Structure 1
């Protein structure tokens, strides 16, 4: 069955691969980017089923207008994928005020504005699926990625609460949590904070950190079947890891957390009063 899919940040990386897969199988796709020139080839190839939309996701009014434009153009809206976002690389102390605020504007508020824009449409039609591109770094952390961690932890909390709010309306919510992939995540799309020498040793050791080893990076094209299966699922999960690392490391991280909480539980109970 043909679906109408709205996706942000789709000129490259996961977004571009997924858009091509959706279009190739016959779905209708509205895709956004700040610069839609990167969509020219798809617009020529799929003149009736592809709608490129120029959008700054940090602008709430633009986000509402983009969702409404897609809905009016295709006459339906089935899936909304909040894919746009980027990373700030730097220790917490190194991150500037502008870098932090801009990262939250894009990764958190941009996701929120698109989500809020879509909800009235999805509620009225009594079905829909909102997919938030989170990260394994929304579940556990890595040094020098703390600001990005914070944005994705925020998206996780927002979306988990959202899922319980909209389930009665027939709307599903899924957090997609990829481990590292050979995309441009750490390249031109990333922001590098001004380094402080005290953190140089931590930076130098990152290449030997689990999650950042060469063998830990997945192949982006391998995510396509998973996303198609997710989009087509009648009962999609709240969370879906992409890649081999996420589930195994998360089990270990949460086992350590549970052990700590258990060891301090007497203190916690005594603090109840």
Structure 2
């Protein structure tokens, strides 16, 4: 069965690889980008399958107009891919207000609003799959990309709650969490805050990105194939890491978090009321954990 995909940031990087693969396999794509000129060749090759839509994801009115255009052309949206975004590197205090706002508006507020725009239609269909392109940086913090990670952590939290809300409506949600991939994320798409010499870790990360010594391991074409395959899974994952680097980073981080939790567990639990029942014995506790399964 042919699906209709709505992809943001489709002109380059992972979004471009995914758009090309979907078209090659015979599906339909509403491909959005700030500048759609780079999609002209694809539009010529796939005139019936591809609808290129000019979209600034930070503009709410454009978001709803783009969704309406896709629905008018194809009649439905089966898969939403919130892929548009960019990175920024710097120390927390070094970012300008505009840099902070642009990160949150593009990498967090925009995917939330686009999801909200598409949800009523998926709810009406009682089907759909939302792929939120997050990052391993949405699972594990690291110095130098704190504002980028603030957006990606927020997207993961939003998506986990969303997945619980829409499960009974036949809608699935997957956070796609790549490690380093051979796209222009750390190249032309990367922006920088002013350097502050005291922040050595941050400056080292900036230097790695700027001097070309950052060597990403991931292949965007392989990632696109995985994303295409995952929407056909009857029970897709809520979190999907991409890249062996992402797997290694998260395994190490989760083990450290568990050790810390266990070390401080008695202190954490000591703040309950003296007459409080065990959380897992309460109806709320049982329902909460059941929803998270």
TM normalised by structure 2 equals 0.88
| Alignment coverage as a number of residue pairs | 271
C-alpha distance 201-65 of structure 1, shift in aligned 2 (>3 A): closer
Distance 1:102 1:25 in 2: 35
Corresponding residue for 2:20? 20
C-alpha offsets along residues 121-142 of structure 1, whole Å, 9 cap, x if unaligned? 0000100001000000000012
Aligned to 1:249: 249
2:139 is matched with which residue?
Answer: 139
Distance in 1, Cα, partners of 2:8 & 2:206: 30
Tell me the residue number matched to 1:192.
Answer: 192
Which deviates more, 248-257 or 33-42?
248-257
Bigger shift: residues 247-256 or 51-60: 247-256
How far 1:219 sits from its partner (Å)? Answer: 2.0
Distance 1:214 1:200 in 2: 17
Where does residue 46 of structure 1 map in the other structure? 46
Preserved CA contact (<8 Å) 1:216 1:245: no
Assess if the C-alpha contact under 8 Å between 1:9 and 1:33 holds in 2: yes
Query: How has the CA–CA distance of structure 1 residues 6 and 192 changed in structure 2, closer, same or farther, with 3 Å as cutoff?
Result: same
Distance 1:57 1:202 in 2: 29
Which whole-Å CA distance do the structure 2 matches of 1:225 and 1:51 have between them? 21
For the Cα contact (< 8 Å) 1:30–1:52, is it kept in 2? yes
Q: Give the match for residue 232 of structure 1.
A: 232
Structure 2 distance, partners of 1:50, 1:214, is 34
Moved more, 233-242 or 6-15: 233-242
Task: Note the 1:70-81 alignment, pairs <5 A.
Answer: 70-81=70-81
Q: Any idea what SS the aligned residue of 1:264 has? A: helix
Question: Once the 2 structures are TM-superposed, how far is the Cα of residue 221 of structure 1 from its aligned partner?
Answer: 2.0
Look up the match of 2:287.
none
Change (3 A) 1:117 1:263: same
Equivalent in the alignment of 1:163: 163
Corresponding residue number in structure 2 for 1:272: 272
Task: Measure how far apart 1:252 and its partner are.
Answer: 1.6
Match of 2:91 in 1: 91
User: Does structure 1 conserve the Cα–Cα contact (< 8 Å) formed by 2:87 and 2:186?
Assistant: yes
Whether the aligned pair in 1 keeps the contact of 2:91 and 2:202 (CA below 8 Å) is no
Please say if residues 13 and 183 of structure 2, whose CA atoms lie closer than 8 Å, have aligned partners that are also in contact.
yes
Structure 1 residue 266: deviation in Å? 1.7
Unaligned runs of 5+ in 2: 274-293
Q: Give the number of the structure whose alpha-carbon radius of gyration is greater.
A: 2
Inter-partner Cα distance in structure 1 for 2:261 and 2:237: 27
Q: 1:72-99: per-residue Cα shift (whole Å, max 9, x none)?
A: 1011210000000011111111111110
SS at match of 2:199: helix
Q: Alpha-carbon deviation of 1:217?
A: 2.1
Aligned CA-pair RMSD? 1.9
Structure 2 counterpart SS, 1:240: strand
Distance, in Å, in 1 between the alignment partners of 2:234 and 2:254 is: 29
Q: How far apart, in 2, do the equivalents of 1:150 and 1:224 lie?
A: 25
Q: Go from structure 1 to structure 2 and tell me whether the alpha carbon gap of 1:202 and 1:62 turns closer, same or farther (over 3 Å shift).
A: closer
Does the aligned pair in 1 maintain the 2:78–2:128 contact within 8 Å?
A: yes
Q: 1:204 to 1:215 in 2, by over 3 A?
A: closer
**Residue 176 of structure 1: CA displacement?**
0.2
- Which blocks of at least 5 consecutive residues in structure 1 are unaligned? none
- Which range is displaced more, 69-78 or 132-141? 69-78
Matching of residues 53-68 of structure 1 within 5 Å: 53-68=53-68
TM-superposition CA deviations, 1:214-246 (whole Å, max 9, x none): 565222222132112112223221111111122
Q: Secondary structure at the match of 2:231?
A: helix
